[in-house]
Structure 1
Amino acid sequence: MLPATAAALAVLAALLAWPVPALLERARWPRRDPLVALVCWQAVGLAGGLSIIGALLVHGLAPWGHSLPEAAWSVLTGHPADAVVRGDHWVTLTLAGVLAAELVGVLLLSWLRTTRTRRRHRELLELVVRPAAQPEARLLEHPAPVAFCIPGGRPMLVLSSGMVAELDDAQLAAVVAHERAHLREHHHLYLLPFVAWEAALPVLPAAAGAHAAVRTLVEMRADDVALRSLSGPDRRRTLARAIVAAAGGAGGAAVPSGALAVAGGAVRERVVRLLAPPSPLPGWARVLALASAVLLLLVPTALLLLPAL
C-alpha cells in the first residue's frame, strides 16, 4: 500500500535531514578524497529532497492508486479516488507542493542572485584591473594579499598587487593553479544546492553544516588539483605558505561576494592537510563510497516509481 511507501520515504527523509549529514560532516575520510566526498554530499542533498517531498506526495495521492505513477495519472485524468479522501491527504499534497516550490524557487533565486552579483562585480573589476604577469590572470591594485576567481560564462582570475608583492614566483604559480582548478571544475555548482538548502531550511542545523563542509571540500579539491600542476619537492609547503599569506593579510573584505578565494575556508585544516597529507583513500573505499551515493539516489527513486510496498 502507498502508506507503507510514504512511511519508508519519511524515515529516509528523517535520516538524511540530520543523522547522515552529521556523520558525514564529522567523518575523517572525506579529506582523503574530497572529490568522492563531494559526490556523496550531492547525493545526500538530492536524495533528501526527493524523500521528503515524495513522502508527502505519496501519502496525499494514496486514495487514487496503488503506486505514485498510477495515482498521479488518475488525478490528471480526473479519475475518481478509489478510497475516501481525508483532510490529511489534502494537507500533505499542499505541503508537498509548497515545499517543492520553495526548494526549486530558492535554488533558482540563489542562482539568479549569485549570477547577477558576479556579473556586476566582473563589470566593475574590468574597469580597474589590468593584465598580470601570470597567464590568464588580472592584476588589481590593492595592498592586501588577495587572490580569487569569479566563475561564470566569462570567468575572471584576479590577483592583488599585495599578493604579487607578498609571494615569490612559485607561490604565485600555486595560487593561480588553485584558482584555475575552481574554474575548470566548476566548483561553484557544487556549492549552489547547499546555499539554497541553507536559505530554504534555515531552522535545520544540518543545512549550515553541510554548506560549510562542502565549501571546505571544494577548497581541498582545488588544492589537490593545483598540486598536480606544480613541481619541486616543496610544492605542498609552497601552496601552504601562499594560503597562510592570503588568510593572514586581512584580504577577505576585498573578495567579492560569489567569488572563490584561495583563503576561502578551513585554512588551518587545509594547511595541516598539505603539510601532513593523509594517505589516499583505497580503491575499494572509493568504489564503496560512490556505490553508496548511487544507492542513496536509487532508493527514493525506486520507492516513488515502482509499485507500492
Structure 2
Amino acid sequence: MLPATAAALAVLAALLAWPVPALLARARWPRRDPLVALVCWQAIGLAGGLSIIGALLVHGLAPWGHSLPEAAWSVLTGHPAEAPVRGDHWVALTLAGVLATELVGVLLLSWVRTTRTRRRHRELLELVVQPAELPDARLLEHPAPVAFCIPGARPLLVLSSGMVAELDDAQLAAVVAHERAHLREHHHLYLLPFVAWEAALPVLPAAARAHVAVRTLVEMRADDVALASLPGPAPRRTLAQAIVVAAGGAGGAGVPSGALAVTGSAVGARVVRLIEPPSPLPAWARAAALLSAGLLLLVPTALLLLPAAL
C-alpha cells in the first residue's frame, strides 16, 4: 500500500497537472494583476514537479525510513532497509530518477538552445542595425512595422524603419517602453520553465495551456510597466494604437526566434484591456493569491520533509 504521504503528493500532483491550471487559465482575474498571476503559475509548475517526483521518491524509499531525509540518509550510508523492498519500490525510484532527469535536462537544454539562438540572432543583427534616435534602441531597415528585444547578457532592442515611419513619437515611445519592460523584468526567465514543461510533457494539455497563459501575462505585464512611464493624456490609447499598427503590418513576421515582441501574444485581448482597463485586483485578493502560491510550494515541501504516515 502506498504511504499516505506518497498518496497525498500524488493527489496534489494530479490536481496541479490538469484541473488547477485549467481553472487558472480560464479565470478572469489574472488580467487584473498579471504579475501576481505569473507568480501563481510559477508556483503551480514548481509544486507540480516537486509533487510527482516526491510521490515516487517517498514510495520508493519507504522501506528505508519514515521520512524522505531519513530514508535518503539510510540509503547513502548503506543502512539496511527496515521493511522488505518490493519491485514496486524499485520501479518508483527508477521513474523518479527518469522524470527528474527529463525535467531538469529539458530545462537546461531549452536554456542552452534559446541562449545560443539569441546569441546568433544578436550577432547577425549587430552587423546590419544602426543607432536609432531613441536611447538604447537600434534601427533595422525593414519595411514592415516590427519591434522586438533580444534578452541576455547583452540585450538588444530593435525597431524597424517601417515601425518608425508608421508611428508617431508618442506611439514609438510606448513601443520602446514595452520592450524595455521585458528586458528590465527579465520576462524571458518567466517563460523558460513553461517552454521546457511543454517540451518535456507534450501529451499533457496543461503544459501547452500554461505556456500560452504565461506568454499572454508577460505581454500584459510589459504593457502595464510601459504605461507607468508614458507621458501624455491617453497613454493607454497610444500604446493600443501602436500594438494595432504593429500587428496589422506584420504580426510576428520578422521577429527572431527567442525574441520578445510587442505583438508577442493575445493582441486582441491586450488592446481591449488597454482601452477598457479592468479594475485593479483588491489588496485582499492579491494577498490571498500570493498566499495560495506560497502554500502550493510549502505543502509538497512539508510532505517531503516531515515523517511519512505509512
Q: TM-score, with normalisation over the residues of structure 2?
A: 0.99
Aligned pairs for 1:224-235 (under 5 A) are 224-235=224-235
Q: Give distance in 1, aligned partners of 2:222 and 2:156.
A: 16
Name the residue aligned to 1:121: 121
The 4+ residue runs of structure 1 with deviation greater than 3 A are none
Name the residue aligned to 1:134: 134
DSSP 3-state at the match of 2:157: strand
Q: Give distance in 2, aligned partners of 1:42 and 1:90.
A: 31
* Cα deviation code 1:199-246 (max 9, x no counterpart): 000000000000000000000000000000011221101000110111
Name the residue aligned to 2:45: 45
DSSP 3-state at the match of 2:148: strand
Name the residue aligned to 2:201: 201
DSSP 3-state at the match of 1:253: coil
Name the residue aligned to 2:147: 147
* Cα deviation code 1:141-200 (max 9, x no counterpart): 000000000000000000000000000000000000000000000000000000000000
* Cα deviation code 1:224-275 (max 9, x no counterpart): 0000001122110100011011111125220000000000000000000000
RMSD: 0.9
Name the % identity: 89
Aligned pairs for 1:1-309 (under 5 A) are 3-309=3-309
Q: Give distance in 2, aligned partners of 1:289 and 1:55.
A: 25
For structure 1, list consecutive stretches of 5 or more residues without a partner in the other structure. Answer: none
Q: Give distance in 2, aligned partners of 1:308 and 1:82.
A: 14
Contact 1:2 1:66 in 2 (8 A): no
Contact 1:182 1:222 in 2 (8 A): yes
Contact 1:6 1:56 in 2 (8 A): yes
* Cα deviation code 1:77-125 (max 9, x no counterpart): 1111111111000001000000000000000000000000000000000
Amino acid at match of 1:283: A
Amino acid at match of 2:179: E
For structure 2, list consecutive stretches of 5 or more residues without a partner in the other structure. Answer: none
Q: Give distance in 2, aligned partners of 1:167 and 1:298.
A: 48
Amino acid at match of 1:75: V
Structure 1's 2 and 77: CA in aligned 2 closer, same or farther, altered over 3 A? farther
Contact 1:144 1:160 in 2 (8 A): yes
Q: Give distance in 2, aligned partners of 1:253 and 1:238.
A: 22
Q: Give distance in 2, aligned partners of 1:227 and 1:294.
A: 29
Amino acid at match of 2:21: P
Q: Give distance in 1, aligned partners of 2:164 and 2:232.
A: 21
Amino acid at match of 1:67: S
DSSP 3-state at the match of 1:257: coil
* Cα deviation code 1:1-47 (max 9, x no counterpart): 97110000000000000000000000000000000000000000000
Amino acid at match of 1:80: P
Q: TM-score, with normalisation over the residues of structure 1?
A: 0.99
Q: Give distance in 2, aligned partners of 1:34 and 1:251.
A: 23
DSSP 3-state at the match of 1:252: coil
Shift of 1:307: 1.2
Q: Give distance in 1, aligned partners of 2:248 and 2:192.
A: 27
